[in-house]
């Protein structure tokens, strides 16, 4: 139950990220959509090009965020018994979720820390098992269970 509850919260946070990215894409799309028939300063066209570049960058980031959301939704029905992408680890002080990064939040009086499987911390903990200690930042944590 903890796993589904925590992942549901992460999903909601990821949906917020996606909404924000969609708004940003729309702002840059509007800025890059200039009427080319009207009279403009050459500087306007330069800014239009920059806006188009930013729009394309944010569209790429949005696509990645949507892929992460699909990953999270798939994780609602799975479980993990080792530290890998999608694992939720309960420690003596916090919960750790491997897969994507969202801001830290509290669940059942413990911080939930999320990070990518590309983050250096993942490389340091990926071979650890229940009962072992791990280092996350400056904290030493004891693995209690995999949720």
Q: Is 121 exposed, middle or buried (0-12, 13-18, 19+ CB in 10 A)?
A: middle
Local structure of 11: helix, strand or coil:
helix
Q: Is residue 82 part of a domain?
A: no
- Residues 15-40 pLDDT 10s: 999 999 999 999 988 887 755 555 45
> Does residue 8 sit in the same domain as residue 48?
yes
Distance of CA 76 to the CA centre of its chain: 16
124 is in which domain, residue-wise?
88-146
Of 19, 49, 75, the domain-final residue: 75
> Does residue 60 sit in the same domain as residue 117?
no
Gap between the Cα atoms of 47 and 109, Å rounded:
48
Whether this model's pTM surpasses 0.75: yes
Gap between the Cα atoms of 116 and 121, Å rounded:
9
> Does residue 105 sit in the same domain as residue 64?
no
């Amino acid at each position: 139950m903890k796993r589904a509850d925590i992942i549901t919260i992460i999903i909601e946070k990821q949906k917020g990220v996606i909404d924000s990215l969609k708004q940003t894409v729309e702002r840059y799309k509007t800025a890059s959509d200039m009427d080319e028939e009207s009279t403009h300063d050459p500087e306007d066209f330069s800014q239009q090009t920059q806006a188009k570049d930013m729009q394309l960058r944010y569209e790429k980031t949005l696509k990645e965020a949507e892929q992460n959301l699909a990953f999270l939704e798939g994780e609602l029905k799975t479980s993990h018994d080792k530290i890998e992408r999608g694992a939720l680890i309960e420690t003596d002080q916090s919960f750790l979720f491997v897969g994507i990064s969202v801001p830290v939040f509290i669940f059942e009086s413990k911080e939930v820390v999320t990070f990518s499987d590309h983050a250096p911390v993942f490389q340091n903990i990926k071979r650890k098992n229940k009962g072992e200690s791990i280092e996350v930042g400056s904290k030493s944590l004891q693995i209690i269970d995999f949720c």
